Amino acid sequence: METSTPPPLPVRPSRARLWPWIVGPALVVLVALAIWSLDEPPPDVSDLVFEPLQLTDEENAYVQLTQVAQLLARLTPDESLDELEDFSSGKEWDDAKVTAWLSPLDTVWPQYEAAAKISRSQGRILTSPDTLVPEIGQMMELARFSVLRARSLLKKDRPDDALRIAVTSLEAGRLLQESRSSLICYLTGVAIQTQAFILIQHAGRHPDVSTDALRESIAALERNRVGTDALGYAFRSELQFYDGAISMLAREHAGGRMALAVPGLYKPNKTRRIYAELLRESLRVIGRDIHEINQAKHNTQVLFNQLRHRSPENFVGRILLNIIVPTFSSITERHSWTATQVSMTQALLAVRIHEKEKGELPASLAELTPAILPGTPKDYYDHTDIKYSREFGFIWSVGRDNLVITSADQVIDKFGVTLRIRPKPPEPEETLDGIFDR
């Protein structure tokens, strides 16, 4: 009887033969991961670094304004601060309350005026999000009380004195913007000057204002026009704030330390290089027309849309950029707005001088040169002349939307940059609400 031979057992491959198939792909993955995790060389940011001015306290307007603001803070009751903005803007008014607030402050104003006359200013540069700058809020309160004082005089039919006091706020606002400091300091200076613009415009419309006071105010507006360098220094100071924010995250937050330590998920050099490129693009368009500013805003938005991809590569760095990068383009546009406000306010005061001397409004702003104005004030949105209509009673800028005034009762949206020569009664409420949202 024949017996069948069982089939041979399958031959198991030796471990030596399997090893290359295991190790090979693993090495490829490790090499790819190492390459993927590589960061760029450190970026060159030497063009974004600057040295602060070396000033003594006596020759530093920022220090002197801080000391005056601290003096005012000691002399004012806390409860007054809750209503201060509404009163300084004219939204509310109570003569007895205003007198009670201002009466203890007589010693403050000579020091405020002296500090505002100092020519140079160097503020504190913020190097971390946890840096406290209480003097910024105190200087804002000082400016509001000063505007409140000017508005009180205006209500007493003393427009010339109101203009003189408003000019001090113009000077203080300029010094904060030119303090080669942080963006918060620069924007506080913008807010202070905005208060002064509103008060000067109101005083300039007052029937009892003198032509001498109007001429002096036109010259003061020009002296306190803030150049592009001021915002440039404020933008450059943000690089130190960025570096400090990263350091604070690594130092104080366990989760942050872990996220920053994962290779590939955070590439510090690449992230800093992108931040520097955004900063340089913003510096490039300061003082340019609104079309270039809008194009830079569009380019920034395109870049951020590209940063939102789902790849884990530099994932943490992309999150940090979305959190830390300021709205550079909006602040750049605000510079154009402020410069244009200077021009429009000068035009309004010049029109009022012509009206008081000739008995009628000028047919065009060209009639005001060179007797009242050295040249037609410029619109910093498109670098052409400010627009004026005697027929419709408007002075205006093209703004961001190429505004054209076609009637006296035209409704202006919140983005319109306009002045009425004679505001409709009751006068439209003008406050600082939302000035940084434009």
Indicate the average pLDDT of the chain.
86
Whole-number pLDDT of residue 4: 62
- CA 402 to CA 347: how far, in whole Å? 19
Whole-number pLDDT of residue 434: 45
In percent, how much of the chain has pLDDT > 70? Answer: 83
Of residues 292 and 131, more confidently modeled? 292
- CA 386 to CA 398: how far, in whole Å? 8
pTM for the model: 0.87
Domains of the chain by residue range? 253-325
Whole-number pLDDT of residue 11: 56
Q: What is the mean pLDDT of residues 223-231?
A: 96
- CA 138 to CA 65: how far, in whole Å? 10
Taking only the tens place, the pLDDT of each residue in 348-381 is: 999 999 999 999 999 999 999 999 999 999 999 9
256 confidence band (pLDDT: 50, 70, 90): low
Taking only the tens place, the pLDDT of each residue in 135-148 is: 999 999 999 999 99
Q: What is the mean pLDDT of residues 165-188?
A: 96
Asked if residues 186 and 177 have their Cβ atoms less than 8 Å apart, the reply is: yes
117 confidence band (pLDDT: 50, 70, 90): very high
**Is 420 a residue whose pLDDT tops 90?**
yes
For 20, the 3-state DSSP assignment is helix
β-bridge mates for residue 387, sequence order? 396
Both structure tokens of 197:
């613009």
Q: Which segment, 269-273, 383-387, 400-404, is predicted with the most confidence on average?
A: 383-387
**Is 91 a residue whose pLDDT tops 90?**
no
Tokens 């806390």 -> residue: 78
163 residue type, one letter: L
Whole-number pLDDT of residue 298: 86
Whole-number pLDDT of residue 425: 55
- Using CA atoms of 47, 52, 54, 56 in order, give the dihedral in degrees to the nearest 10: 160
- CA 176 to CA 64: how far, in whole Å? 11
395 confidence band (pLDDT: 50, 70, 90): very high
- CA 20 to CA 3: how far, in whole Å? 42
**Phi, psi of 34, deg, nearest 5:** -65, -45
Sheet holding 418-420, edge to edge: 387-389, 394-396, 418-420
Lowest mean pLDDT of 29-33, 143-147, 325-329, name the range: 29-33
414 confidence band (pLDDT: 50, 70, 90): confident
Taking only the tens place, the pLDDT of each residue in 296-323 is: 888 888 877 776 766 777 777 788 888 8
b (16+ CB within 10 A) / e for 59-71:
ebbbbbbbebbeb
Whole-number pLDDT of residue 366: 95
Please report which residue ranges of 288-386 form alpha helices under DSSP H.
Answer: 290-307, 315-324, 328-358
Whole-number pLDDT of residue 178: 96
The CA angle 162-98-215, to the nearest 5 degrees, is: 5
Q: Which segment, 10-24, 82-96, 393-407, is predicted with the most confidence on average?
A: 393-407
Taking only the tens place, the pLDDT of each residue in 57-71 is: 999 999 999 999 999
- Using CA atoms of 131, 135, 136, 140 in order, give the dihedral in degrees to the nearest 10: 160
Lowest mean pLDDT of 104-118, 119-133, 192-206, 340-354, name the range: 119-133
Both structure tokens of 423:
């505001």
415 confidence band (pLDDT: 50, 70, 90): confident
19 confidence band (pLDDT: 50, 70, 90): low
Peptide bond before 268: cis, by omega within 30 degrees of 0?
Answer: no
**Is 335 a residue whose pLDDT tops 80?**
yes
Both structure tokens of 2:
């024949």
Q: What is the mean pLDDT of residues 231-241?
A: 92
Farthest CA pair distance, the chain: 140
Q: What is the mean pLDDT of residues 20-27?
A: 58
**Is 173 a residue whose pLDDT tops 90?**
yes
In percent, how much of the chain has pLDDT > 90? Answer: 60
Residues contacting 419, CB < 8 A, separation 6+:
201, 344, 345, 347, 348, 394, 395, 396
Asked if residues 118 and 64 have their Cβ atoms less than 8 Å apart, the reply is: yes
- CA 399 to CA 381: how far, in whole Å? 6
CB atoms within 10 A of CB 80: 17
Lowest mean pLDDT of 162-171, 239-248, 328-337, 374-383, name the range: 239-248
| Nearest C-alpha neighbor of 235 from the set 194, 190, 280 | 280
